[in-house]
Amino acid sequence: MSQDSDLFADAARQVLADQCTPPVVRAIESGGRAAPATQLLWAQLEATGLADALLPEDDGGAGLGLTQVFGVLEQCGAHALPLPLGETMVARALLAQGGVACPAGSITLARGERLPDGGVRCAL
C-alpha cells in the first residue's frame, strides 16, 4: 500500500468514525428528516478529497488507482456508510476520462435502458 493510499484510508477512517455514527446512519437510511445529516456527512467526505481520489491530479484529484483506494472502500463498509462514495469516485473518474465535467454531489450508478422516446428507465 502506498503512502498516498494510507493517507486517504486514514482520512476516511477519521471522517467516518466521527461523522458516520449509528444514529446518523439510521437517520440517513430512514429518509425524511435525514437531509441535514446526509448533507453534513457528504460535505465532510468532499472536504477530505475522497470523492475525487481517482481523478487525475490535473483534474483536481489525487490520481490514485482502484487498488490504492481499497482502504477507503474498506472503511466505507466498516462504518456502514449509507452514501455512494465508491460509486461517486468511479463515476467521476470515468466522466473525467471521457472529457465530461463532473457534477457536484454524489453520483449513483444504475443499469438502465434507453426508451424509444429518448428517455432512460432504470430497473427497481
Confidence of residue 2 (pLDDT cuts 50, 70, 90): low
CA atoms within 13 A on the CB side of 77: 6
Domains and CATH numbers, the chain: 3-122 (1.10.540.10)
Please tell me the predicted confidence (pLDDT) of residue 82: 93
Q: What is the pLDDT of residues 76-95, one digit of tens each?
A: 999 999 999 999 999 999 99
pTM (two decimals)? 0.83
Q: How far apart are CA 121 and CA 92, in angstroms?
A: 22
**Strand residue runs (E) in the chain:** 112-114, 120-122
Predicted confidence at residue 68, as pLDDT, reads 92
Condensed to tens digits (0 to 9), the pLDDT of residues 59-75 reads 889 999 999 999 999 99
